[in-house]
Structure 1
Amino acid sequence: MVDLLMTAEQRQIVESVAGFLEENLPVGRLRPHAKGRQERDAMPDMAALGWFLLGLDEAHGGLGMTVTEEALIFREFGRFLLGPGPLATVLALRVAALAGAVDLSQAIAENRLTVALANPVGAASIGAQVSGTFQIFDGAGADYCLVIGEGGEAALIERAGVAEIALRRSAVDGLVLEHAVCDQVAAAASVASGSDLYVRLSLLAAAMLSGVCEATRDLATAYAKVRVQFGRPIGSFQAIKHKCADMALRADAATNLVNFAAVTLAAGQHDAPQLVTSAKLLTARYALLSAKETIQVHGGIGFTVECDAHHFLKRAHLYDLIGGGAFRQQQRLLADALPLPELAA
């Protein structure tokens, strides 16, 4: 029997991460002209707290925990709408460690070198040399770009070595999107296909999407309790009540599926990739739907820049794209479907 409840140690980790993010990186930082720390400013502190080393084994300088603990903190990252930077850093550490690039791994762990995530667009060749078209998320100022293929192949390339980079406007708050074309760019560290890096990428993105599901549920229900219309809180009206209840059910389903996929992957079960793909597909659908309904629950103010609801919708779209969007996850799930047992005549 699989226990999906957090242990006391895991709960302590989650509470510590949530407390730090609440104090240093609240969702309000994404508002126009917001003052205070931004995500890039807090990355050195995250590195110092050991968050990026959590799931790396001790032999490679990590803390020796599992992908289950990583998924728990990435759920909090999703609740506070962090960008792909921490995700790229965690996986870049693993790539460098597996490739035996000890100095590079240590520099990334200490945030002396920064990494941006590069999402493949179409077919790409990833190995000792990298070729293809990529979308780089928040790559300005990064030292390296991390590219991961669906077969588990991965590489770290120097951003300065990418010849063609064009800036693209992004509708996601505070995010810089770049269109890059690589042609036989040498990798500073690479891992051959067959690793679990793509599965980990998908799982942690799904964990961030489950965090969006939880945060939108909380945001909508809190507003429904205080917004009064016709002399009553709007949460007492059936239409709003049902939306909030549906968001709560979606958040529970998304969180439980991500937890189950994480436990399965940590245990090395053969069906872990299929479960992770299912989690990525479901959490993306639920996060987008809950984010849209949160805007609706807020009514007219939900469509304005003063309300934080729209930030969750934009970030849900971003997290969905990481490792391939919902349509690509459907294709993968159908291609990897387990054979059904034959029915008796």
Structure 2
Amino acid sequence: MDLTLNDEQEALRTATADWCRDNMALEDARWRAPGLWAELEAMGWTGMTAPGMDLDHATEAVVFCELGRSIAPIGLLSTAAANRWFADGFAGKVALALPADEPGDMRVLDPGGSAAVLMWQADKLCLFVTPDDAPHAPTIDLSTDQCRRSWTVSVQSDNTAAPLHLQLLAAAYAVGCADAARDMAADYAKLRQQFDRPIGWFQALKHICSDMAVRAAVARSQLYYAACALDAGHADAAFHISAAKRLADQAALDNGRANIQVHGGIGMTDEAAPHLCLKRAHLLQFIAPADAALLLKDPV
């Protein structure tokens, strides 16, 4: 299986990275511009997964990695999945739901401006049409609000690929988060000086940054393989996607922690940006989590 990006995928990746750098900087994740969602829609990312676009899952994964690198809105995941798996599509934003502690309740992530909510389950996706009229509160990820809603009548997608698709996109977000933490740490290691040398010159920091690079590369390779397996309809695609989510979540968490360590004292402050990657990584763990039973299944 060839995991090398083709010319179209590389062009999409570059265009996405350039736009995110100029319009959706990671450092501004706590204070996104009110018109950001309209700009994302205009760029086509909310509907790029729709059936008529004819993009394969591998290409989607490439683009969503770049969006995840800039801590793009969580609602992009649910909106993209809803546009692919629900026949009529949805004009506008679709929030993402997690099961809440109380039976019959759900925790809605990124609800602002949404008219529907998508919930991931291991065997299906459920869509709830509900207005955004509940009070919002922050999550651990400072770029994402939440609210509580009660269960309502839903539309379900029983296509077995539907939950795998959302899990794949969430894994891509986590890979992008791991990449962002790696790059932030490496850039700071070149800039910050101690004993008249950049701190990246010291072996202890080199090892930390090298480990971050390896974790991100491993997670990205598994993500691309899983996406290609889903495109090819392989019987073990669910296993590979679950493995991709597990590796991506762990890479994002470990790189987020290492990034704060490389930044030292300033990395612990709220004013600095390193904690944004770590907090997004923690939130992504709860979205379409890897199935431990699937990953630890008995050998045949």
Q: Same fold (TM over 0.5)?
A: yes
* Compared CA separation, residues 54 and 169, structure 1 to 2 (3 A): closer
The answer for the alignment partner of 2:112 in structure 1 is 140
Partner of 1:309: 274
- Distance 1:123-1:333 versus aligned 2 partners, 3 A rule: farther
Question: Size of the alignment, in residue pairs?
Answer: 300
Contact 1:56 1:66 in 2 (8 A): no
Instruction: Find the counterpart in structure 2 of residue 41 from structure 1.
Output: 35
- Alignment of 1:18 onto 2:17: yes
Change (3 A) 1:65 1:258: same
Q: 1:338 to 1:122 in 2, by over 3 A?
A: farther
Deviations 1:95-135 (A, max 9, x none): 322xxx3xxx2x52xxxx321111124798xxxxxxx3211
TM-score by length of 2: 0.93
Equivalent positions of 1:128-207 (< 5 A) are 132-159=104-131, 167-182=136-151, 185-187=152-154, 190-207=155-172
User: What residue number does 2:99 align with?
Assistant: 120
Q: Displacement, 1:148?
A: 2.6
Does 1 or 2 have the higher relative contact order (CA < 8 Å, sep 6+)? Answer: 2
Query: Which structure has the larger Rg over C-alpha atoms?
Result: 1
Cα distance per residue 1:60-119 (max 9 Å; x no partner): xxx11111111111101110011211111111112322xxx3xxx2x52xxxx3211111
- Unmatched segments (≥5 aa) in structure 2: none
Q: Indicate the SS of the match to 1:298.
A: helix
TM-score of the pair, normalised by structure 1: 0.81
Q: Percent identity?
A: 33
Name the counterpart of 2:265. 300
Q: How far apart in 2 are the matches of 1:221 and 1:139?
A: 34
Q: 1:288 aligns with which of 244, 253, 257?
A: 253
Q: SS in structure 2 opposite 1:143?
A: strand
How far apart are residue 304 of structure 1 and its match? 1.0
Q: Alpha carbons of 1:192 and 1:45: their partners in 2 closer, same or farther (altered >3 Å)?
A: closer
Residue 262 of structure 1 deviates from its aligned partner by: 0.5
- State the match for 2:45 in structure 1: 51
Counterpart in the other structure of 1:128? none
The one-letter code of the counterpart of 1:330 is A
SS at match of 1:52: coil
SS, match of residue 106 in structure 2: strand
> 1:27 corresponds to which residue?
26
For residues 200 and 73 of structure 1, the distance between their equivalents in structure 2, rounded to whole angstroms, comes to 14
Question: 1:274 is matched with which residue?
Answer: 239
Unaligned runs of 5+ in 1: 125-131, 341-345
1:139/1:268 Cα in 2 relative to 1: closer, same or farther (>3 Å)?
Answer: same
> What residue in structure 2 maps to residue 86 of structure 1?
76
CA RMSD of aligned residues (A): 2.1
Letter in 2 for 1:228: Q
Deviation per CA, 1:17-61, whole angstroms, max 9, x where unpaired?
A: 111111111012135xx5xx53x5222222223223333322xxx
- The whole-number CA distance in structure 1 between the counterparts of 2:29 and 2:47 is 27
